[in-house]
Structure 1
Amino acid sequence: MEFRNTLEFAQEMDTKDPLVNYRDEFVFPKVKGKEVIYFTGNSLGLQPKRAKAFVDDIMTDWAELGVEGHFYADKPWWDYHERLIPPLAKVVGAKPGEVTVMNTLSVNLHLLMVSFYTPKSNRFKIICEEKAFPSDQYMLQSQVRFHGFNPEEAIVEVKKRDGEHFWRTKDFLSKINEVGDELALVLIGGVNYYNGQVMDMETITKSAKSVGANVGWDLAHAVGNVELKLHDWNADFAAWCSYKYMNSGPGNASGVFIHEKHLDKKDVPRFEGWWGTKKEERFLMKPHFEPMPNADAWQISNPPVLSMAPYLASLELFEEVGMPALLKKQKSLTSYLEFILNEIDKEVDSSFEIITPKERGCQLSVFLHGQGRALFNYLMEHGVIVDWREPNVIRLAPAPFYCSFEDMYRFGQILREGILHNE
C-alpha cells in the first residue's frame, strides 16, 4: 500500500479498520482536556472500560457473601484463575494445561529457575542477551550465586555487533555451540524492551535443545504483541507480565507456560504450596503434596482475584478479536508510523534513526540525533505519551486495540512542531 502523510488518508484508513470500534473499549488519559495519543502500551496498557465491572463484581460478592464467595460467587474465587487459561493459551500458542496465572513476573522467573536451572559442576552456564532488562540481570546473577557459581564465569552474554543496534540470530547460535556441554539454560527476552526486536525464538530454542540445555523466555514485551507458538517451539518454560499489551493494570499478575513434557511429575524440583496440590484434595489438609497434573502445580498461594479480574476483562477482549486480527492491524499501523517518522525527518532534516529492526512487534525505538530531552518534554506537554530512554531514544508502541491511524498522523505533526520549536 502507498501511504500518504495526510489527515484524509489516516481517517480513510480508520474507516476501513475492522477494529476501530475497540478504541471505545478503553479509557484514555487527557492532557488539556483532550484524549492523549498513547504510545506506552509497552509499559502500561490502557484500562479496559469493562475492567471496573469485573472488579466491582468481586467487591459485591465479598460484601454480600464474605468467605462464602470462594465457592458461591458468580465466578467462585477458589478457581477464578481457571477462567483466564483458555483465552490466554490461545494468545501464547500453548495447550491450556501448560498455562497458569500467579504471582508477578520476576517472582515467577525465579520459581521457574528452581525447576529449570539445576546446574552441575560441568554444566552450569546461562546464555542471555547483552544488557537484558535489569530485573532479569539481577535475577540471573542471584540465581548463579545461590548455586555457588561466579556470575562473571557462568553468565554468557550475546552482544550486538559493533555499530549495530540489533542482535543477529546466527550470533546466538554460534554462542550456544561454543558453550556446548557447559550450557545449562538459555533465558532471553522474546522481544527486547529497548529496541523492540523480536528474537527468533523457534530457531534459538531448537539450537539450545540440541546441546542439552533448557530454554526459557521472558515474554514481558511479547505476549499480546507478537505471534507465539510456545508449545510447538518446544520451549521448556516462559513467563510474562500482564500489564503491558495485556492491559490488566499496574504491577498485575503474571502468566506462566510450562511445556507438557514437564507436567504431572512428582520428581520435578520446585517450590510447592497448597494451591499447587490436587484441586479435589486441597481442602483435606493432607501433609503430603500431590501435584496438579498441569501448570497449576507451580502455584503456591491462592490467587489474588481482585488483580485477576481486570486481566480476565482484558482477555475477554482478546477472545473477541483474536490474535490474527490484532497482528494484521499491528503490522499496518506500525508501518504507517514508520512512514510518518521518515516523512517528518525529510521535512525537518533531523536525522532520526529507527533502531528497531524489521523483526518487530508494534514498538519502534527512535534515536533522536541532535535532539534531547526537551523534545520528549514537548511531546508530553502536547498530549503525546511516549517513553524516554537514555541517551536520547524514544520508544513508540502503537497498540492496535486502541491506537488509530489518525493518531499516527497527529503525532507526526506534533513531532515536527516540537523539533522546530526547539531549534
Structure 2
Amino acid sequence: MQFVNSKAFAQGLDETDPLRSFRSQFFFPKVRPDAEYLYLCGNSLGLQPRSTRTMINEELDDWAKYGVEGHVEAKRPWIAYHENLTKMMAKIVGAKPHEVVCMNSLTVNLHLMMVSFYRPEGKRRQILIEAGAFPSDQYAVASQVRFHGFDPNTDILELAPREGEDTLRTEDILSYINEHGEKVALIMLGGVNYLSGQAYDMVAITKKGHEKGCTVGFDLAHAAGNITLELHDWNVDFAVWCTYKYLNSGPGGVAAAFVHERNLDKDLPRFEGWWGHNKERRFKMEAEFDPIPFSVEAWQLSTPPIFLLASLRASLKLFDQAGMKSIRAKSKTLTSYLEFLVEDTFGSRDWIITPRAPSERGAQLSFRIPKDGHGVLEALRNRGVICDFREPNIIRAAPAPLYNSYPPVPA
C-alpha cells in the first residue's frame, strides 16, 4: 500500500477498517473532558474494555447472593470459572484447549515451567536467553540456575546483536544454537523483545533447538494478543505470558501458560497444588496428589482469582469476536502507517530500532532518543500522546489495533 501523509488518507483507512467499531468498546484516558489521549501504551498496560465492570459486578453480585455457594450456584460457577476462558485463549496462541490454562502471574508460571522443563544433566546444563531480556526473566532464569547448584555467569548464555546493530539476526540465533546446542538444556527467549519490539522467528528457533536436543520455551508477554501464534503446530515445548498488556485484563491481571500435548503425559517433575488435582476427586481431600489427566491444568496450584478472570474474560470476548487474523492484519498496516508518518515528517527512520519488516515486529515502534528522553516523553504527553520510556534512552509507541485508529486524535 502506498501511504499518504494526510488526514483525508487516514480517514479513508479508518472508514474501510473492519475493526473500526471495536474502538468504542474501550475507555480512554482524557486530556480534558472533551478530548481523549492518543494511547500508544498497550504494550505496557492495555485499556479497559467497557464490559469489564459488568463482568466483575456479575461475580460480586453472585458473591453477595450466594456466599460460598457461589462456587456451584453462581451463573458461571467459580469452581470451573477458568474454563470459560480456555477456548478463547487457546485461539489467541494457536493451541488446543487442554494445552492452555489461565493462572497465577507470569513469573510464577515461568518458574513452574522451568521446574518441569529445565532439567540440566551432565554437560547439558545451560540456559540460552537473549541479551537484554526483560529483567524479571533474567532474575528467574538466574535463580533457577543457582537453585540447581550452577553458576549464572557460566551457565546462562546470552544472544547479543552484532556490534552496531540493535536486533538479533535469525541466522545468528540459529548458528549459535547449532554451535552450542549440545550444552544447552533450555532455550528460553521472549517471543517479542520488550525493548526493541523485534519478533523472533519462533518456528525456526524451535526446530533448530529440537534438532540439537534442547527444550524450547518462550515468554510471550509482548506476543500474546499482538502477533499470530501457532504454538501447537510450531511444536513449542512450553510458553508463558501475562494478559495486562495487549490482552487488556487490567493491572496485575492473571497470566497464562501453555504446555504442548506431547509433554502432558510425560513423567515430569512439577510443583503441585490442590487445584491441579483430579477434578473428580478434588474435594475428597486425599493426601496423595492425583494430577488432572492430559491437561496443563495439572500445573495449577491454588483456587483461581475469579475477579481477575472475569476482567480477562471481558477482553477475550472482544478478541474472539475480532479474530487474531484480522487483528494482526490491521496491526501490520497501522504500525507501518505510524512508521511512515514518522519517516515522512523527519526524513529518516534511523532512530527507530524496531525492524522495518512487519513480519519481524508486532504493534510497537521503539525510538532511540539521543537526549532527554524523559523530556520528550513529557512533551508528547502534553500534546495528548501517551507512550512509555525504558532505560537508557528508548521511547516505545504501541498502536494496539483493537482500540487505535488511523486518524490522529491528540489535542
Q: Does 1:80 align with 2:81?
A: yes
Query: 2:312 corresponds to which residue?
Result: 311
Q: Choose between structure 1 and 2: higher helix proportion.
A: 1
* Dislocated runs of 4+, deviation >6 Å: none
Q: Residue 80 of structure 1: CA displacement?
A: 0.3
Q: Residue 371 of structure 1: CA displacement?
A: 5.9
Please tell me the residue identity of whatever aligns with 1:221.
Answer: H
Query: 1:54 corresponds to which residue?
Result: 55
CA contact (8 A) 1:41 1:399 kept: yes
Please tell me the residue identity of whatever aligns with 1:113.
Answer: M
Separation in 2, partners of 1:403, 1:62: 35
Query: 1:332 corresponds to which residue?
Result: 333
Q: Residue 400 of structure 1: CA displacement?
A: 0.5
The CA deviation string for residues 130-189 of structure 1, in whole angstroms up to 9 with x for no partner, is 111000011111100000001011000011001111101111112212223211000000
Query: Which residue among 346, 351, 354 is the counterpart of 1:353?
Result: 351
The CA deviation string for residues 230-267 of structure 1, in whole angstroms up to 9 with x for no partner, is 011111100000000000001111110000011144x2
Separation in 2, partners of 1:366, 1:356: 8
Query: 2:21 corresponds to which residue?
Result: 21
Question: How many matched pairs?
Answer: 406
Q: Residue 370 of structure 1: CA displacement?
A: 5.3
Q: Residue 352 of structure 1: CA displacement?
A: 5.2
Inter-CA distance 382–110: structure 2 relative to 1 (3 Å threshold): same
Inter-CA distance 372–271: structure 2 relative to 1 (3 Å threshold): closer
Please tell me the residue identity of whatever aligns with 2:143.
Answer: S
Q: Does 1:120 align with 2:121?
A: yes
Separation in 1, partners of 2:309, 2:209: 34
Query: 2:279 corresponds to which residue?
Result: 279
Unpaired runs of 5+ in structure 2?
Answer: none
Separation in 1, partners of 2:327, 2:59: 29
Inter-CA distance 222–39: structure 2 relative to 1 (3 Å threshold): same
Query: 1:386 corresponds to which residue?
Result: 387
Separation in 1, partners of 2:346, 2:50: 36
Separation in 2, partners of 1:328, 1:108: 30
Please tell me the residue identity of whatever aligns with 2:362.
Answer: G
Query: 2:270 corresponds to which residue?
Result: 270
Separation in 2, partners of 1:382, 1:117: 47
Separation in 1, partners of 2:350, 2:203: 32
CA contact (8 A) 1:355 1:364 kept: yes
Alignment of 1:152-191 (within 5 A): 152-191=153-192
Alignment partner of 2:81: what SS? helix
The CA deviation string for residues 169-213 of structure 1, in whole angstroms up to 9 with x for no partner, is 111112212223211000000000001000000100111111111
Please tell me the residue identity of whatever aligns with 2:275.
Answer: W
RMSD, matched Cα: 1.3
Separation in 2, partners of 1:224, 1:180: 30
Query: 1:255 corresponds to which residue?
Result: 256
Separation in 2, partners of 1:41, 1:56: 24
Inter-CA distance 159–35: structure 2 relative to 1 (3 Å threshold): same
CA contact (8 A) 1:352 1:369 kept: no
Taking only the aligned residue pairs, the percentage that are identical comes to: 53
Query: 2:137 corresponds to which residue?
Result: 136
Separation in 2, partners of 1:176, 1:388: 32
The CA deviation string for residues 322-343 of structure 1, in whole angstroms up to 9 with x for no partner, is 0011011111111110110011
Separation in 2, partners of 1:26, 1:159: 38
Q: Residue 4 of structure 1: CA displacement?
A: 1.4
CA contact (8 A) 2:90 2:96 kept: yes
Separation in 1, partners of 2:250, 2:374: 28
Separation in 2, partners of 1:86, 1:375: 42
Q: Residue 372 of structure 1: CA displacement?
A: 3.7
Alignment partner of 2:122: what SS? coil
Unpaired runs of 5+ in structure 1?
Answer: 415-423
Q: Residue 32 of structure 1: CA displacement?
A: 2.7
Alignment of 1:223-238 (within 5 A): 223-238=224-239
Please tell me the residue identity of whatever aligns with 1:172.
Answer: I
Query: 1:421 corresponds to which residue?
Result: none
Query: 2:289 corresponds to which residue?
Result: 289
Query: 1:30 corresponds to which residue?
Result: 30
Separation in 1, partners of 2:167, 2:158: 14
Separation in 2, partners of 1:391, 1:261: 42
CA contact (8 A) 2:373 2:395 kept: no
Query: 1:244 corresponds to which residue?
Result: 245
Alignment partner of 2:82: what SS? helix
Q: Residue 369 of structure 1: CA displacement?
A: 3.7
Separation in 1, partners of 2:114, 2:393: 35
Query: 1:418 corresponds to which residue?
Result: none
Normalised TM-score (structure 2) = 0.96
Query: 2:94 corresponds to which residue?
Result: 93
Alignment partner of 1:366: what SS? strand
Separation in 2, partners of 1:84, 1:322: 15
Alignment partner of 1:87: what SS? helix
Q: Does 1:70 align with 2:71?
A: yes
The CA deviation string for residues 65-102 of structure 1, in whole angstroms up to 9 with x for no partner, is 00000001000000100011001101101011100011
CA contact (8 A) 1:264 1:291 kept: no
The CA deviation string for residues 273-323 of structure 1, in whole angstroms up to 9 with x for no partner, is 111011111111111111112010000111001111010111101111100
Normalised TM-score (structure 1) = 0.94
CA contact (8 A) 1:264 1:292 kept: no
